[in-house]
Structure 1
Amino acid sequence: MLHSDHACRNIIMLVGEEMKKNLAHFLVESGTNCSIMINKSTTVSNKTCLIIYLHLSFEGVACNYFFDIVELESGTGECIFSTLLAALEKYGITNDVLKNDLVGIATDGTLTMLAPYKGVAALLRSHLHKDLTVVHCMNHKVELAVHDVMNDVADVYYIQVFLDSLYSVFSRSPKNQRLLQSVSQELSSQLLKLGRIFRVDLVASSFNAVRTLLESHSSLVHLFEKLINDGFRSTQERSKFEGLLKHLTKLLLVMVLVMLYEALDILQVLPFFMQNRNSSVLKAKQEIDMAIRTLETLKTNDSPRFRMIVQELEEKRTFKGVLIKEPSCAEYNRFQTFQKKLFQSLDVALLISDTWPSDDYEHVFYGDMSISRLCNEVNFKLRKSTRASLVKDFRIYKENPQHMPNSVKELVKTVKVIPISMAKM
């Protein structure tokens, strides 16, 4: 048994070095296509570092491999670019290897990474004289899209202000926290995260907070009713509790929360899919299209959950047993505007047989031009066939989707090497 942390560290470092050498050797010797995933981060000691992953195909499966983490002298694009090349070359991944095998690079959307002239991706393209596929992390894109929509829709800010008020009431008082924990342990833990709800990178957290608030709605109402009648509380505290209770029993707040729940329930699935090891460009389009179609449907059709809640409100004027105040015409119109605005604001498909046209004449020529364009976009190297024979093989594949010719298999394998998300890092 090892009793020294230094000995453990040395063994771990040695194993890590050997793993990096083996990975680099496999990439150089096999000539397989690969992509690079990089992200800038900060250590506990406030040192800026670069995290490097390689995304490549091993035994027919596209896999992520941690490659290295190196300290950066500065956060500029030039420094990150030179540090990246040095880290790769240290283990034998030279410029010639990158020119032959590198097909893409995935980063976040910062200017340091994606600036058109001095960004890391632009510098790498220029250095290798190669038109690499540059991927802005799809997880980050989804989060940014949700963030922009939330900023555009006014009543989301109303919910944000309400949740911030809840946070301030319970986070600053241990006594209030204990009372909240006695009502709902999950809501208590979610409230600690509410300071950053609806911000970038937290769609799933926003969904969990909204879900928990809806589930604990009646318990929260009863708690505030109890606090308002607590004679040991100051007049200022009781006024604060009364104001929050007034909002909790408003139809507008309940309906807006339900609609947010519906939208976030659809969107929060995407980040989890993107970080799945089996996700790829081919599958991502299907998932995104499905989410878009569902959101489009919710513009004009209410979900079963929403209809059930509306039915309870119309028949009993209650939500989970809590009496809800009759809304004014202005509040009702405000909710309808919110519903419309919320859902209004939110070429690799040719390789997916489900997207092919059913018409026989269209089917024959479908994708012939796109297959050539796709080869250029992902820098696909035709090893044992010509571009014309690839198009011919693709036509054979269209006639018999159960049998995929080798050239089409190689193209699909190359496309799968293009990463779609850095959440796998």
Structure 2
Amino acid sequence: MTVSRQEEVRRTNINIFLKAEGAGDHPPPNYPPSHDSPEKNGVIAKLKGDFPNVKSIHCLAHRLELAVHDSLKSVSGCNHFEMFISKLYSLFHQSHKTARLLQEAANDLNIEILKIGQVFTIRWVASSFNTVRAVWKSFSALAKHFKTESGDQSHSDSVRKKYTGLLKYLTNASFLCDLACMKDVLRELQSLSLKLQRRDTTLVDSHRYIQQTIEILTAMKMQGGKSTAKAQQSILAGLFKGVSVIGERTGKINSPQFYQAVVDNLTARLPSDDLVQFLRPLEKSSWPQKREELVLFGETEVHKMAKILGEPTREAIKDFREFKLQGTQEGETLKRLLIASKTYLATDCERGFSAVNDMDRKSRNRLRAKSLSSLLFVDINGPPLEIFDPTPFVTSWVNAGHRLSTSWVTGRKTQGSQRKPLWSIF
């Protein structure tokens, strides 16, 4: 693609976006986030060339991921936990037989096996929590499977020793403490991640969610979480989910240090306080309750925003007063300010990448680009199946001259009618 063609496509996309959002000539000052922000060729640099007032914010959901990874690097013992979970993932995903034997062990114990994935990879932190929860719930099944395989004489000595080592590490009280600590922390971070990924989450909401999570983790640093308390009780009893646990009562991961590392990294990656305070008056939840305090509340910020975006400041103040004091609908000027205050995350892009991986898999590798694009459009933008009505599309397909899939019999025609005289012999 030539440079002129790239510029044409870029300008077309900007115009389409502005028209769809009703933002006139002003894009949202927080649009768009970028995983990386090259100084000259990045998305932000290109937009700032056209709109100097654009404010760039790194995707908050990715800020959370970076905070978690920085915390893991700064606390010793986390690497041992990651290595063991990776061994479990490799063990049960490289061999269908091993996965089947684990399922049989779970069936004997009447428990449900959850999928054991990887932890702290390029996936969202919610995926790491699902993996840790799967190991927690499948603890007894894993122990039974490892014990059975370690005593199976049909295996070689090296295989039996591998299962013996896995069983010893799994049933160590130290690992149980680490597992409980990770489960408590990741549960809170999963909740935060899902909130940040919601399309209706604003920058002010994100700041509030992150601040609330920091307060919760700070309290849990001193008191511990539910899973940690349950693990400590089980270690004192010497039994967890019917499995004997032995060894040290403290984990290899320093729990208070890990909690503090997560809190510090989240605090360091909070959105700018100045920008949050700038946008806060547009959020009804931040308005004061007393009317005398509400009368002039937020007018300074609205005036500044309107001036930055080139909107008539007096019209903006007038619309804002009627909106907050009279409860009327937003005026046209205020509506443009509200649109411009939106924050756009990169999670939709990530959902698109996941949809591509689901569509363009090995069993469907002959899809053409046009067909793949159409499937992705329906998958990303289409309604849920429970409210989708396929009747108009099926009717138009049939009316176009196409045949139903059940209108003919596939395969070779039977020769039964020709061989009927021979059947009397049998």
Tell me how far apart the structure 1 counterparts of residues 148 and 210 of structure 2 sit (CA, whole Å): 46
CA drift at 1:115 = 1.6
Q: TM-score, normalised by structure 2?
A: 0.65
State the partner residue of 2:32: 106
CA drift at 1:339 = 4.5
Instruction: Return 153-162 or 274-283, whichever deviates more.
Output: 274-283
The superposition leaves residues 249-274 of structure 1 with CA deviations (integer Å, 9 ceiling, x where unpaired) of 12221122222112222222344334
CA drift at 1:164 = 1.9
Structure 1 vs Structure 2 CA RMSD: 3.9
Query: 2:248 is matched by which residue type in structure 1?
Result: P
The 1:373–1:247 alpha-carbon spacing in structure 2 relative to 1, beyond 3 Å, is: farther
**What does 1:21-420 correspond to in 2, within 5 Å?**
82=7, 84-85=9-10, 87-88=12-13, 100-104=25-29, 105-110=31-36, 114-126=37-49, 128=50, 130-184=52-106, 190-191=115-116, 193-194=117-118, 197-314=119-236, 316-327=237-248, 331=251, 334-346=254-266, 347=276, 348-356=279-287, 366-375=297-306, 379=309, 381-382=310-311, 386-388=312-314, 390-391=316-317, 394=320, 400=325, 402=327, 406=331, 409-410=334-335, 413-415=338-340, 417-420=342-345
State the partner residue of 1:19: none
Tell me how far apart the structure 2 counterparts of residues 129 and 335 of structure 1 sit (CA, whole Å): 46
Tell me how far apart the structure 2 counterparts of residues 91 and 412 of structure 1 sit (CA, whole Å): 19
Contact residue 106 and residue 422 of structure 1 kept, 8 A = no
1:211 match: secondary structure: helix
Query: 1:370 is matched by which residue type in structure 2?
Result: E
Tell me how far apart the structure 2 counterparts of residues 301 and 401 of structure 1 sit (CA, whole Å): 47
Tell me how far apart the structure 2 counterparts of residues 91 and 410 of structure 1 sit (CA, whole Å): 18
Tell me how far apart the structure 1 counterparts of residues 113 and 243 of structure 2 sit (CA, whole Å): 20
Tell me how far apart the structure 2 counterparts of residues 90 and 287 of structure 1 sit (CA, whole Å): 33
1:419 match: secondary structure: coil
Query: 2:339 is matched by which residue type in structure 1?
Result: T
The 1:136–1:79 alpha-carbon spacing in structure 2 relative to 1, beyond 3 Å, is: farther
State the partner residue of 2:385: none
Tell me how far apart the structure 2 counterparts of residues 350 and 421 of structure 1 sit (CA, whole Å): 25
The 1:244–1:89 alpha-carbon spacing in structure 2 relative to 1, beyond 3 Å, is: closer
State the partner residue of 1:63: none
Q: TM-score, normalised by structure 1?
A: 0.65
1:268 match: secondary structure: helix
Contact residue 147 and residue 199 of structure 1 kept, 8 A = no
2:32 match: secondary structure: strand
Tell me how far apart the structure 2 counterparts of residues 236 and 324 of structure 1 sit (CA, whole Å): 24
Contact residue 214 and residue 263 of structure 2 kept, 8 A = no
2:25 match: secondary structure: helix
> How many pairs align?
333
CA drift at 1:133 = 3.2
CA drift at 1:161 = 0.7
Tell me how far apart the structure 1 counterparts of residues 115 and 167 of structure 2 sit (CA, whole Å): 19
Query: 1:103 is matched by which residue type in structure 2?
Result: P
The structure with the larger Rg is 2
Query: 1:351 is matched by which residue type in structure 2?
Result: L
Query: 2:48 is matched by which residue type in structure 1?
Result: R
The superposition leaves residues 144-193 of structure 1 with CA deviations (integer Å, 9 ceiling, x where unpaired) of 222222222222211111112223333344432321232359997734x4
Query: 1:116 is matched by which residue type in structure 2?
Result: E
Tell me how far apart the structure 1 counterparts of residues 198 and 222 of structure 2 sit (CA, whole Å): 32
Query: 1:120 is matched by which residue type in structure 2?
Result: V
CA drift at 1:416 = 5.3
1:103 match: secondary structure: coil
Instruction: Return 227-236 or 162-171, whichever deviates more.
Output: 162-171
CA drift at 1:344 = 4.2
Identity %: 23
Relative to its length, the structure with more strand (as a share) is 1
Tell me how far apart the structure 2 counterparts of residues 313 and 92 of structure 1 sit (CA, whole Å): 57
CA drift at 1:125 = 1.9
The 1:340–1:403 alpha-carbon spacing in structure 2 relative to 1, beyond 3 Å, is: same
1:85 match: secondary structure: helix
Tell me how far apart the structure 1 counterparts of residues 16 and 264 of structure 2 sit (CA, whole Å): 50
